[in-house]
Structure 1
Amino acid sequence: MTAYDDLMAFQRDTTALGQVAGRLGWDQETVMPRGAAGQRSEEMAALESILHGRRADPRVGDWLDQATTDDPVAQAQLREIRRSYDRATKLPARLSAELARETSLAQGIWAQARAAEDFSQFAPSLSRVIALKQEEAAALADGGSLYDALLDDYEPGATAASIGVMFDDLRPGLVALREKILGSTRDMPRLQGSFDTDEQFKLSQTLARAFGYDLNRGRIDRAVHPFSSGSGSDVRITTRTDPADPFNCFYSTIHEVGHASYEQGIEDQYALTPLGCGVSMGVHESQSRIYENQLGRSRAFTGWLYARMVEVYGAFGVADADAFYAAVNGVRPGFIRTEADEVHYNLHVMMRFDLEQALLTGDLSVDDLPGAWNDRFAADFGVAVDTPSNGVLQDVHWSVGLIGYFPTYTLGNVYAGCLYESLGKAVPDLDAELAAGNTSSATGWLRDHVQRHGGLYRPVDLITRATGGAPSVQPLLRYLETKFSQLYDL
């Protein structure tokens, strides 16, 4: 066997073990007994120690130095293994294990604090997570930006400066559109009444299938915070239900199906290799956001969804499909990022981007975080935060150490805007198909142009290849301006 063959055989086992770790995380968020949290944290730490040892194994470095190939796919495999190896060798094994242990515990503590509306229960755990992430960032940064060192794990090549430029380009258009909408006299209908949660969950499975999610290689469960987990032939998602708000369930499901479909759509030959997963979280979010918004919240698809809801719930106070479309897309300030309309959503992300940078650098202490959050929210949204679960405790990300993750949501929206313009040109009958509940042309185009490639191309290269141009905020702004100007008669 060649050095490349030896390396790939070793990498396959490492990747398989990583999938096992991911399955433990899924189990913890869905069916694990609450009393098992302490033991699970030790299990996660032990497994992470093994994974770190494999990723930093000196043999990997030797194989990388010896492996040569002219094959573009093999070159991409080597690129990704080198990136992982360089990162792993900078991190002490102790730190990797401590992060796995602490974040496993922190998830449960966060959930309990959120239910109790008590940030003080979570603050000590969050302080430990932040301290560990500061140590990790310092080890990776080599004297450079701490935030960039962590961001690069989720969006290779991105920096806080480049994200800041994107936000500066995006914010004025979003704010101007929001002000026009909030100044409109049009009043969007809202859902009223109670919607059986078991029926919501059944309908979420119908929606998942409609968007091409293969339930033979996946499953849907309920969790506090919806997420997608796994790759290849085992890709699982979760959703949540609320009797007063079925849209929370339906659009969380469609969003996570976008993530899961990306993983399920990757070429089989890349399974259990570095190319066998999404290339970045920004690209991942482009799939979840285009599924959820441009497709799932379109006038065409909401008409089909309205008919399904009438079948399940009978008359539920919304007059017709046009009123239902308006109800799905109403713009109003709200506390919860995952439930935010398309105009406000990125403003939620921008706020978190600034706060987590301040946490990482030490400019903001964990104890001062709730006040900083509430002040910033009032300034950006004009609404006072009423409870911690509607504020600083709403997102799971910081409890699991995902510092640097939040900006990829907006980057995903930007990528989705670019992809949607190209998709519309490639599928001229898109609205007619969506009105029939048929997403196959849209999801097929995304699978062919984005999903099947896995990690083969770098994020910006992938979007450029798919759309024929470099990523820009303008397609997203055009989409939002067109959609909401029509909705609100602007």
Structure 2
Amino acid sequence: MTIKSAYQDLEHRFQRMAVFGEAMSVLHWDMAVMMPPGGAKPRSEQLAAMRVMHHAMMVDPAIGDLLDAAEAMPLDDWQEANVREMRREYIHATAVPSDLVEALSMACSDCETTWRTAKKDNEFKAVLPEMERVLSLSREMGEAKAAKLNCGLYDALLDQYEPLGKSAEIDPIFDDYAAFLPDFLQAVLDKQARDGAPVQANAPFPVDKQRELTRHFAEAVGFSFASGRLDESAHPFSTGYKGDSRITVRYDENDYSQGLMAVMHECGHALYEQGLPDAWHNQPVGAARGMAIHESQSLIVEMQACRSREFVGWASASLARAFGEQAAFEPDNLYRQYIRVKPDFIRVDADEVTYPAHVILRYRLEKALLEGDMKLADLPGAWNDGMQKLLGITPPTDTVGCMQDIHWYDGAWGYFPTYTLGAMTAAQLFKAATDADPDIEAGLARGDFTPLLSWLRDHIHSQGSRWNTRELTERATGRALDPQAFKDHLRNRYLGDA
């Protein structure tokens, strides 16, 4: 076999594995959106079987030989990056035996199903045994990968979501924000008290009207319904693949903004997927560059753009058409609503000032649980203590406390830090974009995301995984991630004259 055919063989193999992944994403979407309860056990078995098959394809010893051959030949920049990403996926896969892959898949599906009922019933103990198994298997997987990656347990799990991410780099960033937050939060609350509360819109907000409104906003930001869907689920999420993006939302008749902003957030994810390079579809280098960048794309839409004065001015008319003319929908009042800061129990509903506290709490707790410094049975109490320390509030139930998020119950350990890393990256990217193109903010005032989306397509989406996160951020903004950009954004938005 020639070196050239070795590389071509690798492309073919990884394309087939990517198609497997696409099929699994649709099965998981169906499970969350429309599968009847009776389908839970067979679906768990289906997903487990497919993951084992996918894993078997990835750990084929021939791939190791092919990678060795391809790495020895001259490749162009994209091919070289593709082989690098293939090698990374191969290392992760070969670190874990197939029986562990199957066991963890089954455990996660079973735990997620139990969590849905336990959350409704506020019964943490009901899901504890299955969560213990997920944690134990996740720890086992992390230890196996840590040995192959020559890093710590937590960093091995983090690397699944944020390649090359290190807790040693995250710790000072999060500690700095935790120290920054108390005084800044108090200053914002004091300013809001001086300014007075904004007028609140009159509920109810019929779900059928909300569905029409969220579709209208999704189209405005550039989401293509020719290659995407918008559905409802217990927890908003985005999945699918290029050509078939699927986003979900939940609606509350007493608060239209929850559903609306969740759709804007998930549209940011979907736009990223829809904008990935066509030439490298179903190749590792054509995939999104880790979850910190992915979260930056959702938050640049939801927080940076859709809560800007410019966009709110356009949105006010759409809200009035949907729900009737109200003083609450006047642009100035609406803007004050959208940047209203109030410590709350629910992460997905949190404002951008307090949101990082939710992530910091989860990050600290999952590290303690994974490293054996805390028992899982103590999670509810530790959660409540952490919320009190960081935000001065204590959840009244575990439903709005440690059971609110799906991630741990579905096996996503090491994922949470990417949310706040993404928020910080979003602030830095948006500043670079608006500095480079003044028409971005003018476009938002017209409800036109084309200028912003064009900049993101050029600097982020079209780059796929050609660069690592640091390199991609540096190329787009001129410097690596700088948490100061996020704090400057918060000061300007929340303590400025707005």
Query: TM-score, length-normalised on structure 2?
Result: 0.96
Counterpart in the other structure of 1:254: 264
Kindly indicate whether residue 81 of structure 2 is the aligned counterpart of residue 76 of structure 1. Answer: yes
Residues 207-233 of structure 1: CA deviation (Å, up to 9, x unaligned): 111111111111011011111102211
Q: 1:166-185, aligned counterparts within 5 Å?
A: 166-184=173-191, 185=194
Counterpart CA distance in 1 for 2:100 and 2:268 is: 33
**Is this contact kept in 1: 2:112–2:410, CA < 8 A?**
yes
Kindly indicate whether residue 22 of structure 2 is the aligned counterpart of residue 19 of structure 1. Answer: yes
Deviates further, 174-183 or 404-413? 174-183
Kindly indicate whether residue 111 of structure 2 is the aligned counterpart of residue 95 of structure 1. Answer: no
Counterpart CA distance in 1 for 2:155 and 2:459 is: 28
Residues 267-315 of structure 1: CA deviation (Å, up to 9, x unaligned): 1011111123211000000100110011011111112111101001103
Distance 1:317 1:384, change over 3 A: farther
Give 1:191 shift: 3.5
SS at match of 1:367: helix
Give the residue type in structure 2 aligned to 1:91.
Answer: V
Counterpart in the other structure of 1:472: 482
Kindly indicate whether residue 118 of structure 2 is the aligned counterpart of residue 117 of structure 1. Answer: no
**Is this contact kept in 2: 1:197–1:241, CA < 8 A?**
yes
Give 1:188 shift: 2.8
The partner residue of 1:66 within 60, 64, 69 is: 69
Give 1:175 shift: 2.8
SS at match of 2:100: helix
Counterpart in the other structure of 1:459: 469
Give 1:172 shift: 3.0
Counterpart in the other structure of 1:291: 301
Counterpart in the other structure of 1:279: 289
Give the residue type in structure 1 aligned to 2:58.
Answer: R
The partner residue of 2:409 within 382, 386, 399 is: 399
Give 1:428 shift: 1.1
Counterpart CA distance in 2 for 1:420 and 1:69 is: 37
The partner residue of 2:6 within 3, 8, 29 is: 3
**Is this contact kept in 2: 1:231–1:276, CA < 8 A?**
no
Counterpart CA distance in 1 for 2:16 and 2:395 is: 47
Q: 1:128-143, aligned counterparts within 5 Å?
A: 128-142=133-147
The partner residue of 1:54 within 57, 63, 69 is: 57
Deviates further, 253-262 or 144-153? 144-153
Give the residue type in structure 2 aligned to 1:62.
Answer: D
Give 1:404 shift: 0.7
Residues 238-262 of structure 1: CA deviation (Å, up to 9, x unaligned): 1110011111111100100110100
Counterpart CA distance in 1 for 2:181 and 2:494 is: 11
Query: TM-score, length-normalised on structure 1?
Result: 0.97
Counterpart CA distance in 1 for 2:28 and 2:475 is: 34
Counterpart CA distance in 1 for 2:82 and 2:74 is: 11
Kindly indicate whether residue 318 of structure 2 is the aligned counterpart of residue 308 of structure 1. Answer: yes
Counterpart in the other structure of 1:155: 162
Counterpart CA distance in 2 for 1:322 and 1:206 is: 22
Distance 1:230 1:276, change over 3 A: farther
Give 1:363 shift: 1.4
Counterpart CA distance in 2 for 1:452 and 1:65 is: 28
Give 1:420 shift: 1.1
Counterpart CA distance in 1 for 2:278 and 2:440 is: 28
Counterpart CA distance in 2 for 1:337 and 1:487 is: 27
Give 1:455 shift: 1.1
Counterpart CA distance in 2 for 1:371 and 1:171 is: 20
SS at match of 2:466: coil
Counterpart CA distance in 2 for 1:166 and 1:152 is: 18
Q: 1:438-449, aligned counterparts within 5 Å?
A: 438-449=448-459
Give the residue type in structure 1 aligned to 2:256.
Answer: P
Counterpart CA distance in 1 for 2:175 and 2:400 is: 26
Give 1:487 shift: 5.9
Deviates further, 40-49 or 380-389? 380-389
Runs (4+) of structure 1 exceeding 6 A deviation are: none
**Is this contact kept in 1: 2:295–2:418, CA < 8 A?**
yes
Counterpart CA distance in 2 for 1:330 and 1:39 is: 45
**Is this contact kept in 2: 1:231–1:277, CA < 8 A?**
no
Counterpart CA distance in 1 for 2:167 and 2:286 is: 27
Give the residue type in structure 2 aligned to 1:429.
Answer: D
Counterpart in the other structure of 1:320: 330
Counterpart CA distance in 2 for 1:248 and 1:25 is: 23
Counterpart CA distance in 1 for 2:313 and 2:268 is: 20
**Is this contact kept in 1: 2:320–2:329, CA < 8 A?**
no
Give the residue type in structure 1 aligned to 2:184.
Answer: L
SS at match of 1:380: helix
**Is this contact kept in 2: 1:192–1:317, CA < 8 A?**
no
SS at match of 1:157: coil
Counterpart in the other structure of 1:374: 384
Q: 1:39-50, aligned counterparts within 5 Å?
A: 39-50=42-53
Task: Could you tell me which runs of 5 or more consecutive residues in structure 1 were left unpaired when the two chains were aligned.
Answer: none
Deviates further, 162-171 or 50-59? 162-171
Counterpart CA distance in 2 for 1:332 and 1:123 is: 31
Counterpart CA distance in 2 for 1:420 and 1:253 is: 19
Counterpart CA distance in 1 for 2:176 and 2:201 is: 34
Counterpart CA distance in 2 for 1:108 and 1:401 is: 12
Q: Percent identity?
A: 38
